[in-house]
Structure 1
Amino acid sequence: MQNEHIPTPKQLIYNLIAEKGTVAKADLLAYTSLTSSTLTRMLEEMIEEDLIEAADLGPSRGGRRPILYQINANYGYIFGLEVSRIHSSLGLFDMQLNPKSLIHWRMDEAMTPERFLEYTMRQIRNFLRDHRIPHEKVLGLGIGAVGPLDRTSGTILDPLYFPAKGWCNIPICDLFAKETGWRVILENGANAALIGEQWALRHDQIQHALYVHAGVSLRSAMMSHGRIVHGTMDMEGSIGQMIIQTDGPRLNNTGNYGALEAYASIEALEKQARAQAKMGRFPFLHHKEVPPEQINFDLLLQAQRLGDSFAQELFNQSATYFGIGLANLINIFHPEKVILGGALINSSQMYFETATEIATKNAYYYPKYTPQFSKGELKEAAVVTGAALNVWKTMEL
C-alpha cells in the first residue's frame, strides 16, 4: 500500500541539500527548527553513512569559510520507467537525479505485458553491467504509467489504445518487485512528468503548475502549493472527456459527445484525414497515392513537414481545439506555469504556438493574468525522472 510518506528530520535535511545542490550549515539552520548541535550531529552522521559529502568551502561571512555540503551522487541508484502507448522509456539515475543511461522504445502489437517485462529487465541488466553497478546498490524502481491505475495495489487497470493485447489489470509493481527484489512505486505518467519537471525547475520555486500531454489520448496533472493533486480515481485521461461542443461527435462511439478528444488527439487527426481522403481531398506527399485506411499519424507528420497544405490545416485545427480545452483548464486551476508535452505538441512549433495563443486569449483576466507556457525542461525524460524521484523522496534514511 502506498501511503503518503512523512519525511523524518534527517530526510528533510537530505532533501534540502539535494535541492540546493551545495549548501552551508548556516543556510540549513535557516530552513529548519533544529538546534545547531543537533544539525551538526546529523550532518556528521550522514557523512559517516556516505549519504552526503563536503563539496567545497563557501565564501567567508566574516570568519572562517564555511563547509558546503552536497549529497553523495554514488550512494545509490534509482531506475525510472515509463509505460506509454506509443513509446516507453527506461532511465538509470544517481542520487543527484543525473541520468546515467536512458533508452526509448516503440510500443507495437508485439509488446504485450509479458514481452514488456522481459525487454525491460534485459535493459536493466544491461545498464547495471555497463556502469558496473551492483544489484544491491539500486534503491528502487519508479514507474509512471498510462492510467487508469490503482496506485495502492500498484496495478494498471484498463487503459485504452495499447497496440498490444493484454494490458488490463496488470499488477506491474508486483511483477517488477518479484524480478528485482527492489521497492517499486507506481504513479500515473502525467503526474510523474510534472514531478520531474518541477524538479528540473526547482530553483524557480514553482508552486502552482499544470501539465498537459497531447498524444494518443489527452492527459493532465496539477500541482498546488508544490504538491501533486490526486483525485479519488487516477483518471489522468479524463481531460479528453471535457465537452467543448454539445452536439459534436464521439471518438469511437464512446465517451462524451463533443469531447475534446474527438477534436484534438492523434486518433481524431487520423480519423479526419481518412474521411477527407475518401472524398479525394488529401493529396498526400505531392499527389502520391496512399489508400485512406493506411493514413496514420506518422504519414500525417511527414506530410506536414513537407509542406502539405491540407496536413497543415488539420494540425492547425487540432491545435485550435486543444487551445480551447487548455483555456478551460487554466480558468479552473489558474496555474503560474503550464507545461505541455506529447506527440501533438512536439509535432511542430506551430501546434504549440497556436494552442498557447488560443489558450492565452481565452484565459479569464487576460491580459492581467497570463500563465507561462513551456514544453518543459526534460521533455521525453520527464516521466522517467519523475518516477525515479518518487522513489528518491520516499527512501528511508
Structure 2
Amino acid sequence: MIKMNERIPGRNAKEIYKLIRTQGVALKADLLEKSKLTVSTLTRILEELISLGLILEAGFGESTGGRKPILYKINPAYAHVFGLDISRTYSKLILFDLDLKIVDTVRWSMTTSMTPEKLINEIIYAVQTMMTNHNIALASCLGMGIGAVGPLDRTQGIIRSPKYFPANGWSNVPICQMIEEPFGFPVMLDNGTNTSILGEYWASSQYRYQHLLYVTAGVGIRSSMMTSGKVVYGAVDMEGSIGQMIIQTDGPPPREPGGNYGSLESYVSIYALEQKAQSLLKSGRKCMLNELVYAPEDVRFHHLLYALNEKDPLAVEIFTQSATCFGIGLANVLNILHPEHVILGGPLIDTNDLFFAIAKEVALEKTYDSPSYSVEFSRGKLGSDGIATGAAVMMINQLTE
C-alpha cells in the first residue's frame, strides 16, 4: 500500500493540489498568484501531478489576447475512498470517487441484533464486494473515514460509550483497528456532526462561509463548529453537551442520570416529544393520536409525524412548543459563537417544515443585535448522506496534510 503522505511528493505539490481541489477548476495564473511559486517550479509540479494521475487538464480558459490558458482539475478516478456513517437507527457505507461522486452504497438497520462484531463483518463483506464489482485495486483505495455517535477517542479510533444503541456491546469498540486489519488501508474516526459539517462545507460550490455551525436534533442534540474550513475541537469530546444547556431550571428531569433538569434535550428530542404526547393523552386530551394507538404509552415518533402531516391540533402544538425551545437554545449558542451560517439536520428537522421554520424564526428573534448580526440558516445539501460524505472528505484531506 502507498502511504497517504507519500502519494503527493513534496509540500509545494500538496499545496498546488489543494488549491486545484478547492477551486474545482484552476488556471495556471491563479495558481501562480496564490502559491507565490516561480513559473518554472509551478510548471514542473503540474507536470509531475499529471504524470502521477493526480490531476488532469480540463480544457482551456478564456484568452486575454494570446493562447488560451490551460485549466486544471483533480482526477476523480485517481483513487476511491469509503465513508461510513454509524448512527443509532442505521449505518451506511458509501464508496466515492475523489469528486465525491457516489459510486456505490449499502445501508443496514441498527436492530437489537446489530452488535459491533456483526456490523464489522457486514462492512468487510460490503467493502470487498464493492471493490470487486467496480474493479478497484486495494492500492487505489485511500481508506475509510467513519462518522459515528460519540463519545469517541478519535486518536485511538475507539467508540467509547454511546447511548441508546439498540444492540449491546457498543462500548470501547476499537472500530478503526477492526477495519484496518483485514484491508491494510488507513481508517479514521470522528463524530458524525464533525464529519457532517465537513461534508456540507465541501458540498458548497463557493466555500464562502468562514464560520459554520451544524446542529442535529433527533434522539439527542449534537453540534459541531467550523472556522476557515477546519473543524473546531474542544479539550474533550462533548458533541452532545449542547443538549444539556439548561432552558428551565425546574423543568423536566433528565432522561439519564447525570443530565440537567430542564435541559434543551428534555424539550427537543424524539423521546421528549413522545413523552409530551403520552402525558397529554393521559390527561384526557383528545386528538388523532387516540385513533392511532391503543394506549398513550404506545405513541411513537412516526405517529406524531403522521398526525402533524394531517394538521392535528395537538401534534402541531407539541412540535411548535419543541421547536420554540430549540430556537431559544440556538439563540443562546449564536450569542456565544456568532457563526455566519447555521446548518440544521436530523430527524426533527428533516421530516417536516414546521419545526425548521419555527426554530429559525425564534432563534433570529432572540439573537442579540439582530438584525444587524445577520446569520443564515439552511438544512444543508447532503441530507442523510452528510455523515458518510464528510467522513470520506476527512480521508481525502489527508492527501495534503
Partner of 1:189: 192
Partner of 1:16: 19
Partner of 2:6: none
- Given that 2:196 and 2:388 are in contact with CA atoms closer than 8 Å, whether structure 1 keeps it comes out as yes
Kindly provide the CA deviation profile for residues 270-313 of structure 1, in whole angstroms up to 9, marking residues without a partner as x: 11122223334253457344222222112222222233221221
Partner of 1:269: 273
Partner of 1:117: 120
Partner of 1:279: 283
| Alignment partners' CA distance in 1, 2:122 and 2:304 | 30
| 1:47-196 equivalent positions in 2, closer than 5 A | 47-196=50-199
Q: Secondary structure at the match of 2:206?
A: helix
Q: Secondary structure at the match of 1:206?
A: coil
Structure 1 residue aligned with 2:261, among 243, 257, 263? 257
Kindly provide the CA deviation profile for residues 196-230 of structure 1, in whole angstroms up to 9, marking residues without a partner as x: 10111151421001000001010000112332110
Q: Residue type of the partner of 1:160?
A: K
Q: Does 1:233 align with 2:236?
A: yes
| Alignment partners' CA distance in 2, 1:372 and 1:224 | 16
| Alignment partners' CA distance in 2, 1:12 and 1:95 | 17
Q: Shift in Å at residue 119 of structure 1?
A: 1.9
Q: Residue type of the partner of 1:92?
A: L
Structure 1 residue aligned with 2:313, among 309, 314, 319? 309
| Alignment partners' CA distance in 1, 2:286 and 2:164 | 25
Q: Residue type of the partner of 2:153?
A: D
Q: Does 1:36 align with 2:39?
A: yes
Partner of 2:5: none
Q: Secondary structure at the match of 1:142?
A: strand
CA 1:82–1:127 in structure 2 vs 1: closer, same or farther (change >3 Å)? same
TM-score by length of 1: 0.95
- Given that 1:193 and 1:383 are in contact with CA atoms closer than 8 Å, whether structure 2 keeps it comes out as yes
Structure 2 residue aligned with 1:378, among 379, 382, 397? 382
Percent same amino acid at aligned positions?
48
Partner of 2:298: 294
CA 1:251–1:175 in structure 2 vs 1: closer, same or farther (change >3 Å)? same
Q: After alignment, is 119-128 or 255-264 more displaced?
A: 119-128
Partner of 1:3: none
Q: Secondary structure at the match of 1:373?
A: strand
CA 1:126–1:300 in structure 2 vs 1: closer, same or farther (change >3 Å)? farther
- Given that 2:15 and 2:400 are in contact with CA atoms closer than 8 Å, whether structure 1 keeps it comes out as no
Q: Residue type of the partner of 1:279?
A: S
CA 1:357–1:396 in structure 2 vs 1: closer, same or farther (change >3 Å)? closer
Structure 1 residue aligned with 2:371, among 357, 363, 367? 367
Q: Does 1:46 align with 2:52?
A: no
| Alignment partners' CA distance in 1, 2:190 and 2:19 | 23
CA 1:69–1:344 in structure 2 vs 1: closer, same or farther (change >3 Å)? same
Partner of 1:332: 336
| Alignment partners' CA distance in 2, 1:313 and 1:154 | 43
Structure 1 residue aligned with 2:398, among 382, 394, 397? 394
Q: Secondary structure at the match of 1:368?
A: coil
Q: Residue type of the partner of 1:182?
A: F
Kindly provide the CA deviation profile for residues 136-178 of structure 1, in whole angstroms up to 9, marking residues without a partner as x: 3211100011111111101111111111111111111111111
Q: Does 1:199 align with 2:202?
A: yes
| Alignment partners' CA distance in 2, 1:282 and 1:152 | 52
Q: How many matched pairs?
A: 393
- Given that 1:192 and 1:383 are in contact with CA atoms closer than 8 Å, whether structure 2 keeps it comes out as yes
- Given that 1:143 and 1:187 are in contact with CA atoms closer than 8 Å, whether structure 2 keeps it comes out as yes
Q: Shift in Å at residue 388 of structure 1?
A: 0.5
- Given that 2:287 and 2:313 are in contact with CA atoms closer than 8 Å, whether structure 1 keeps it comes out as no
| Alignment partners' CA distance in 2, 1:219 and 1:175 | 26
Structure 2 residue aligned with 1:248, among 246, 251, 255? 251
- Given that 1:214 and 1:341 are in contact with CA atoms closer than 8 Å, whether structure 2 keeps it comes out as yes
CA 1:58–1:178 in structure 2 vs 1: closer, same or farther (change >3 Å)? same
Q: Shift in Å at residue 374 of structure 1?
A: 0.3
RMSD: 1.9
- Given that 2:246 and 2:261 are in contact with CA atoms closer than 8 Å, whether structure 1 keeps it comes out as yes
Q: Residue type of the partner of 2:339?
A: P
Q: Secondary structure at the match of 1:384?
A: helix
Q: Secondary structure at the match of 1:132?
A: coil
Q: Shift in Å at residue 12 of structure 1?
A: 1.4
Q: After alignment, is 93-102 or 361-370 more displaced?
A: 93-102
Q: Shift in Å at residue 356 of structure 1?
A: 0.2
Q: Shift in Å at residue 347 of structure 1?
A: 2.2
Partner of 1:4: none
Q: Unaligned 5+ residue runs, structure 2?
A: 1-9
Q: Secondary structure at the match of 2:202?
A: helix
